[in-house]
Amino acid sequence: MLQLTSLSTTILLAAAVALGPLATDMYLPALPELSHAFTAETGQIQLTLSLYMAGFAFAQLICGPLADRFGRKPIMIGGLLLFALASAGCALAESIDALLICRFLQALGGSAGPVLGRAAVRDIHKPRDAARIMAILAAIMAIAPALAPTLGGVLLAGFGWPSIFLALAGYALLVCAIVAFGLPEPLDPAYRQSLRSAILARNYWTVLCDHAFQGYALTNALIFSGLFAFLSGASFVLIDFLGVTPSAFGAYFSVMVCGYIIGSFLTARMSRHYTPDQLLRAGLMISVVGGGMMAALAWTEVFTKTAVILPQTIFMIGVGMVLPQTMAGALAPFPHMAGSASALFGFIQMGAAAGAGVLVGHLHNGTSQVMATVIAACAVASGVAYLLCIARYSAPGLKAAPSHG
């Protein structure tokens, strides 16, 4: 068994949390191909992303309380198995409706990895340490989605789009086996919660009414919606509009993900010298610069690959700094019900992201303008949420004086 505080456990939790982005990023190069394969419109194909996010959001409200009652490990194992089966169903789908159903089921299972991975970090570490571990986890986790579109493009070219979903099924089964045989249960038995509906409702209401949670969850949801707007529109902008090949799409996508990795590593390295609140402010400002730059270039009709990837990379540096701080801040007040808090946090995050994806798909005009505008708007709105909420109600333990030792 792994030690809960070891780097190996952090890597395993990162692998579980990475299941969410992998399920979206890996098949991005195949979206135009899926449109041709199922004779479906762009909006229908983008619905496979938005419906996944909606299912992901809904499922977290279920698996969070279950994990608070029965422990993180059994719920994570069950979710990973469902994800693997649904991924195989996606590979075998013969119609767009069948694919949408399997994507929804895939989301139900896939939610267990991210929501319980975050909760496990809160189980194991104190709030300030949790922010640092979240940053390390995010940096490690980013390696997978950085490689995912490239791998997806290779699989698409060599074996067709079904092979992408089969590869996702294999990944889920591998993580499931390691969790089953290598991870100790991180939840303290003293923190187990009842599944009585009245208690569940009370727990969710307690979390939702917490001012600090509201601020961190809203700030996170808005900045994540900007990220998802890019995921939803990138393949149609880069492949259909700018002529990037599906195999090369992964390389361009990896450049953008490098921004996220840089932001995450900067946060992990600087967390000993700056407070999480200071890092959060810096990340938000960087994201506003990146999003604003992309929108300005798009609306002045500068339609080049660089005009999309460079601003998005800057935006993602900020995202890599913002997400760990908002995750740790939202969960900090709730060590006794981190599963429920993480579930509600994820529900808000994914629900907002699904809305952004639908907006991009519905308004897409064949250029980068709609996608860029949504990204910029989300960045600005996230900064406003910080000023109105987090600046007034910060989480306990996250404004402690930094160490200079």
Q: Could you write out the DSSP letters of every residue in 39-76?
A: T--HHHHHHHHHHHHHHHHHHHHHHHHHHHHH-HHHHH
What is the chain's length? 405
CA distance 27 to 247: 12
- Identify the CA nearest to 305 among candidates 263, 357, 261, 248: 248
Integer angstrom CA distances of residue 28 from 35, 129, 178, 195, 286: 12, 34, 27, 38, 26
**Per-residue pLDDT tens listing for the chain (405 residues):** 777 767 777 778 878 878 877 888 888 888 888 988 898 887 788 889 888 888 888 887 888 788 888 888 899 899 999 999 999 999 999 999 999 999 999 999 988 877 777 778 777 877 667 767 776 666 666 667 677 888 888 899 889 999 999 999 999 999 999 888 888 887 777 777 777 778 778 888 999 999 999 999 999 999 999 998 998 888 889 988 999 887 788 888 888 888 988 898 888 788 778 888 889 999 999 999 999 999 999 999 999 999 999 999 999 999 999 988 898 888 888 877 777 787 788 889 888 988 888 888 888 888 999 999 999 999 999 999 999 999 888 876 666 544 444
Closest CA to 119 of 173, 75, 55, 172: 75
Best CA proximity match to 304, nearest among 359, 244, 249, 251: 244
Rounded to 5 degrees, what angle do the CA atoms 171, 249, 33 make? 75
Residue 301 to residue 236: CA distance in whole angstroms: 17
Q: Note the pLDDT of residue 283.
A: 96
DSSP 8-class letter at 272: T
Distances (CA, A) of 150 to 106, 320, 387: 22, 21, 38
Cα 312 to Cα 305: distance, rounded to the nearest angstrom: 11
Question: What's the predicted TM-score (pTM) here?
Answer: 0.76
Q: Which residue has the tokens 């932001």?
A: 263
Would you state the structure tokens that stand for residue 10, as one six-digit string?
């952090």
Are residues 276 and 365 in contact, defined by beta-carbon separation less than 8 angstroms? no
Question: What is the four-CA torsion angle of 66, 14, 380, 395, rounded to 10 degrees?
Answer: 60
**Token reading at 137:** 């986890």
What pLDDT score was predicted for residue 300? 95
Name the CATH superfamily for 7-180+197-390. Answer: MFS general substrate transporter like domains (1.20.1250.20)
The domains of the chain are located at 7-180+197-390
Residue 405: the pLDDT is: 42
